[in-house]
Amino acid sequence: MPTITIDGRSIEAAAGAMLLPVAIENGIYIPHYCWHPKLSIDGSCRMCQVEVEGSPKLVIACNMPIRDGLVVRTNTPAVEKARRGVMELLLVNHPLDCPICDKAGECSLQDYSYAYGSRVARTREPRRKLQKRKEIGPRMILDQERCILCRRCVRFCREITGTNELGVFNMGDRSVLDAMDDRPLANDYSICTADICPVGALESKDFHHKLRIWFLKKTESVCPSCSNGCNITVQHYRERVWRLMPRRNDAVNETWMCDHGRLTYQHVNSPDRLRQPLLRRAGQLEPCEWDEALSVVATQLRAVAHAGAAGIGAVASPHLTNEEHYRFAQLLQVLGVTNVDVAVVLGPSDALLIKAEKAANARGARDMGLQPAAGGLGLPAMLEAAASGQIRALYVCGADLWDTADRQLLERALARLECLIVQDIVRTPLAERAHVVLPSLTFAEKAGTFTNVAGRVQRLQLAVTPPDGQLSDGEIFSRLLGLLAEGRPSFEPHAVFEEIAQAVPAYAGLTYERIGPLGHALSAGTAGQASVGGATASV
Amino acid sequence: MATRVVPVVRPRPMRLSWWVSARALLIGFAVTNRHFWRNLWGFIRRKPTVFTVQYPEQRLPFANAFRGMPVLVQMDNGKERCVACGLCEWACPTDCITIFPAETADEIERYPAVFDINMSRCMYCGLCEEACPEEAIVMSQNVEIAAFSRSGTLWHKDDLLVPVAKLEPRLQHLRRGYDR
Q: SS3 sequence, A233-299?
A: EEEEECCEEEEEEECCECCCCECCCCHHHHCHHHHHHCCCECCCCEEEECCEEEECCHHHHHHHHHH
Residue B11 lies in a domain: no
| CB-nearest partner of B86 from A133, A208, A212 | A212
How deeply is A288 buried, as exposed, middle or buried, from its count of CB atoms within 10 A (0-12, 13-18, 19+)? middle
Q: Are B21 and B86 contained in the same domain?
A: no
| CB-nearest partner of A209 from B89, B102, B133 | B102
State how many domains chain B has: 2
CATH number of the structural domain spanning residue B128: 3.30.70.3270
Cβ-based contacts of B102 with chain A (< 8 Å): 209
Question: What is the span of the domain harbouring residue B95?
Answer: 70-177
Residue B147 lies in a domain: yes
Q: Are B113 and B172 contained in the same domain?
A: yes
Contact B84 A100 (CB under 8 A): yes
| CB-nearest partner of A99 from B85, B89, B103 | B85
Q: Are B92 and B162 contained in the same domain?
A: yes
Q: Are B114 and B31 contained in the same domain?
A: no
Contact B109 A100 (CB under 8 A): yes
Whole-angstrom distance, CA of residue A329 vs CA of residue A341: 11
Tell me the pLDDT of chain A (539 aa) as tens digits. Answer: 899 999 999 999 988 899 999 999 999 999 999 999 999 999 999 999 999 999 999 999 999 999 999 999 999 999 999 999 999 999 999 998 999 999 999 999 999 999 999 888 898 999 989 999 999 999 999 999 999 999 999 999 999 999 999 999 999 889 999 999 999 999 999 999 999 999 999 999 999 999 999 999 999 999 999 999 999 999 999 999 999 999 999 999 999 999 999 999 999 999 999 999 999 998 899 999 999 999 999 999 999 999 888 899 999 999 999 999 999 999 999 999 999 999 999 999 999 999 999 999 999 999 998 988 777 888 889 999 999 989 999 999 988 888 888 889 999 999 999 999 999 999 999 999 999 999 999 999 999 999 999 999 999 999 999 998 899 999 999 999 999 987 778 899 999 999 999 999 999 989 999 999 999 999 865 444 444 443 333 32
Contact B134 A133 (CB under 8 A): no
Handedness of CA A274, A279, A285, A288 (dihedral sign): negative
For residue B177, the Cα-to-chain-centroid distance in whole angstroms is 18
ipTM: 0.79
Residue B92 lies in a domain: yes
Q: Are B163 and B75 contained in the same domain?
A: yes
SS3 B23: helix
How far apart are the CA of A444 and the nearest CA of chain B, in angstroms?
A: 23
How far apart are the CA of B133 and the nearest CA of chain A, in angstroms?
A: 7
Q: Are B77 and B135 contained in the same domain?
A: yes
User: Which domains can be identified in chain A, with CATH numbers?
Assistant: 3-75 (3.10.20.740), 122-269 (3.30.70.20), 278-444+470-492 (3.40.50.740)
Whole-angstrom distance, CA of residue A86 vs CA of residue A113: 10
pLDDT in tens, B57-91: 988 889 999 999 999 999 999 999 999 999 999 99
Residue B179 has pLDDT above 90, yes or no: no
Q: Are B48 and B74 contained in the same domain?
A: no
| CB-nearest partner of A209 from B87, B90, B103 | B103
Q: Are B94 and B161 contained in the same domain?
A: yes
Q: Are B80 and B160 contained in the same domain?
A: yes
Whole-angstrom distance, CA of residue A403 vs CA of residue A395: 16
For residue A59, the Cα-to-chain-centroid distance in whole angstroms is 38
How far apart are the CA of A171 and the nearest CA of chain B, in angstroms?
A: 28
Three-class SS of A160-176 = HCCCCCEEEECCHHHCE
Residue B59 lies in a domain: no
Residue B57 lies in a domain: no
Q: Are B78 and B143 contained in the same domain?
A: yes
* Count of beta carbons in the 10 Å neighbourhood of residue A467: 10
CA-based nearest residue to A337, from A480, A487, A508, A528 = A480
Residue B34 lies in a domain: yes
How far apart are the CA of A213 and the nearest CA of chain B, in angstroms?
A: 10
Contact B110 A210 (CB under 8 A): no
How far apart are the CA of B164 and the nearest CA of chain A, in angstroms?
A: 20
Residue B65 lies in a domain: no
Residue B135 lies in a domain: yes
Contact B90 A212 (CB under 8 A): yes
Whole-angstrom distance, CA of residue A196 vs CA of residue A219: 20
pTM for this model (two decimals): 0.86
Q: Are B79 and B26 contained in the same domain?
A: no
CA-based nearest residue to A71, from A3, A1, A4, A2 = A4
Cβ contact A33:A42 at 8 Å: no
Q: Are B102 and B134 contained in the same domain?
A: yes
Q: Do strands B161-163 and B70-74 pair parallel, antiparallel, or not at all (unpaired)?
A: parallel
**Residue in A209, A214, A237, A242 to test binding to B, most B beta-carbons within 10 Å:** A209
Element (H or E) spanning A87, and its range?
Answer: helix A77-92
